[in-house]
């Protein structure tokens, strides 16, 4: 395989040039956890490898929408035997944002480490080792017609588009956030410079409630932007005035990476989150007339080699709260 740096822009499937390990705590469990990102063969996709918490047997969970088990506080994937990995969205966003197709994620716990609440340290780790390209063409899921999911006054929709674009709008009833919008083509440079450093955030009152329920045990000002009634509690403030919508866009990139391949299309959401992202992706894939799998030899839809659709792709993702 040919080695590339992190600016590889080809249309061949990539993996890491070598393994790299990161360690921190889980934002919900509050326990130390380590992950090792290991190179994988073409067409492997992203696979999480862990020991079953009860039997100790080695378990593999494919990071696809079919493995989604929950989306309430974060995105959780599960195996049929009940092993789970939580808070995968920032790591998955990094893979998709930097164009990494095939990796085995060896993890010694049930939650991806939170790091600083963003994807920046995952980006740094991958840039440290670099990428290699295989001889196997990358495949894309091309959106052919609009697909939309409404949930109250929130919505998520896919539209045909020559590229991979995210148009994310949020609207919070605090002047500290208000209405914010992020709209851009997803490229490695955009992901690295405009999205990867955006941190997770939440209201202090909600975090205190989660603590009482046994969640967010690892949450702190070191890995979250905390919002009080009238101020940001982090001494350093925010990294951008619109860091909040940038983080929602980061989450959307990670959630839609569960398509199993890059999406050629526009994803637009209003007041979205993990559940809505998952619902929209599921609705898209359930409608076999709304997409096709293509190889993308050059910029633009013209000239794509049509690979076809997933024949009767199973709907294994359960209803989630």
Active site residues: 274
Would you say 35 and 20 are in contact if contact means Cβ atoms under 8 Å apart? Answer: no
Q: Is 101 annotated as a binding residue?
A: no
The number of beta carbons lying within 10 Å of the beta carbon of residue 315 is 11
For the chain, first and last CA: distance in Å?
A: 43
- Contacts with 101 (C-beta within 8 Å, 6 or more apart), sequence order: 13, 14, 15, 42, 45, 95, 138, 261
Q: Is 247 annotated as a binding residue?
A: yes
Q: Are strands 164-171 and 225-227 parallel, antiparallel or unpaired?
A: unpaired
- Contacts with 212 (C-beta within 8 Å, 6 or more apart), sequence order: none
Report which of 182, 227, 183 is spatially closest to residue 206, judged by C-alpha positions: 227
Buried b (16+ CB within 10 A) or exposed e, 75-92: bbbbbeeebbbbbbbbbb
- Integer-rounded Cα Rg, in Å, for the chain is 19
Burial of residue 107 (number of CB atoms within 10 Å: 0-12, 13-18, 19+): buried
Residue list, annotated binding site for Zn(2+): 90, 247, 251
Residue list, annotated binding site: 90, 247, 251
């Amino acid at each position: 395989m040919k080695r590339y740096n992190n600016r590889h822009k080809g249309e061949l499937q990539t993996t890491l040039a070598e393994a790299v390990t990161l360690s921190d705590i889980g934002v919900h469990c509050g326990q130390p956890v380590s992950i090792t990102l290991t190179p994988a063969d073409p067409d492997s996709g992203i696979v999480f490898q862990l020991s079953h918490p009860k039997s100790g047997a080695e378990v593999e969970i494919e990071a696809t929408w079919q493995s989604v088990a929950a989306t309430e506080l974060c995105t959780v994937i599960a195996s049929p035997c009940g092993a789970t990995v939580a808070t995968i969205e920032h790591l998955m966003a990094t893979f998709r944002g930097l164009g990494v197709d095939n990796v085995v994620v060896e993890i010694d716990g049930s939650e991806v480490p939170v790091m600083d609440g963003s994807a920046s340290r995952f980006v740094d780790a991958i840039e440290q080792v670099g990428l290699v390209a295989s001889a196997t063409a990358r495949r894309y899921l091309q959106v052919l017609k609009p697909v939309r999911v409404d949930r109250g006054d929130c919505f998520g929709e896919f539209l045909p588009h020559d590229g991979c674009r995210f148009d994310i709008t949020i609207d919070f009833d605090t002047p500290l956030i208000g209405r914010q919008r992020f709209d851009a083509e997803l490229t490695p440079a955009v992901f690295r410079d405009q999205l990867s450093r955006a941190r997770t955030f939440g209201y202090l009152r909600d975090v205190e409630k989660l603590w009482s329920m046994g969640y967010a045990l690892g949450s702190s000002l070191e890995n979250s932007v905390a919002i009080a009634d009238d101020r940001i509690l982090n001494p350093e403030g925010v990294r951008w005035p619109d860091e909040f919508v940038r983080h929602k866009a980061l989450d959307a990139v990670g959630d839609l990476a569960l398509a199993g391949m890059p999406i050629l299309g526009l994803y637009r959401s209003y007041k979205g989150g993990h559940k809505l992202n998952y619902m929209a992706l599921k609705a898209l894939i359930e409608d076999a007339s709304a997409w096709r799998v293509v190889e993308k030899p050059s910029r633009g839809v013209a000239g794509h080699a049509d690979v076809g659709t997933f024949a009767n792709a199973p709907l294994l993702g359960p209803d989630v709260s």
